[in-house]
Chains A and B, each alone.
Chain A
Amino acid sequence: MSDSDFAIRMKGVTKIFGDSPQTALDMLRSGKSKTEVQAETNHVVGLDNVSLDIARGQIFVVMGLSGSGKSTLIRHVNRLIDPTAGEIFVEGSDVLKMSLPDLRTYRRNTVAMVFQKFGLLPHRSVIDNVAYGLEVKGVGKAERLERAAKWIETVGLSGYEQSQPRQLSGGQQQRVGLARALALDTDIILMDEAFSALDPLIRSGMQDQLMELQKSLGKTILFITHDFDEALKIADRIAVLKDGAVQQEGKPEDIVLKPANEHIEEFVREVNKARAIHVRTIMERGEFEPCEYTVPSNARCEDVLPYFAEHQWVGVTNDEGTQIGRVTAKRVIRALARYTPGANEG
């Protein structure tokens, strides 16, 4: 596939922080590890040969612990950080070849970003914050305020237009951040740990809202998080990052069911697998006698668990409502128990 078939395409992107990154890059290429490079040259490897293909219209989550390079990664997409080596294509155009004016046009029209610490302008009201991107683009005052008001309503902050950001709670402030990014009407939205600073309940509400928005607007969302549960909940695809390198990339259930290495297994052990695994990935396809209870194929294991109190199996239907297979209690238990500590030995 060509570069323009993907929303975002990164090829062999490497970032080394330090005074002479090329020397460190050569060492890294010759096979030395991140720790060795750091010990010998005092250069920090931020990203190590990262290649990602992100298709349009999906929520792509990059998951990693602090220091894994995930925030560095997302900043390469809109070139807040320049890579040491590699190529980045967004909607088919080479981001690294852009001149400064081109880069500004690109940031104004193609990628918008939401930040962990919100990054709101404290001296401007909510509506002026939301309209900020439009103002930068040169949209007239009446039009930008009208568009900003619409997005404020979409994120559920009507009535707060004239408030100052500091008068809002963390969740509300991040809604302003989200509305500000949405107001630019870009195809791609970058979210850097956007919900990490929020309380769990508010975070969950924001996740639901983001998924709904994505469904109705069809945006490509690159989402960074350190929270595996969050990744499993919202992601169409997940890439797990460690020490600046991609460890595994795939659908959420692929990662839960077939973790590529020890590091990812550790994450998997801690999560609620019943939420991560869709019934379609573990069901038996084929003709079975119609069952009293059925669930759609995009249901998750946690949705079918209650039925097993009464039944041995539950039917699975496709989008039209036709039964296409079934899922048994045994299969669900096998999927959930697979990677619990001790159970996967031998």
Chain B
Amino acid sequence: MMKNSKKAKPIVQLPAQQPIVTIMVNEQAVMQYDRNKAPSKEQFDYIDSMDKQMDEGVELGGTLHKKPDPIVKSQFVAQHLLMALAAKNYSLAAAMCTWLSERLPELIRVQATGSLTNNMKVDLVFARQN
């Protein structure tokens, strides 16, 4: 039997994943997503299809990104989440929220300021920023 069975501490301590993601619009909590509640297969299929579509290129802020990196994708999805909210397409907004929460494990908050119908300033807040 091994005498020294204590687990070694990891060299880098990663922040624990925060379960709740909040979408804030003008300092008001609009949507919440709980990572502890696993999405259905259909929801996973949907966010996979979003990735495939985005991999074919996205336009963000007037710039065409032929091969969008995760940061561009995140900004693109966050913008579309706000557009869906403005259009009262709440199921689409929920799908966008699922993508952000599942693809960005350290995301804790999306902070949008401005008018939903105009260009909003969107910040993604991650756990390690706190």
* A and B are interacting partners: no
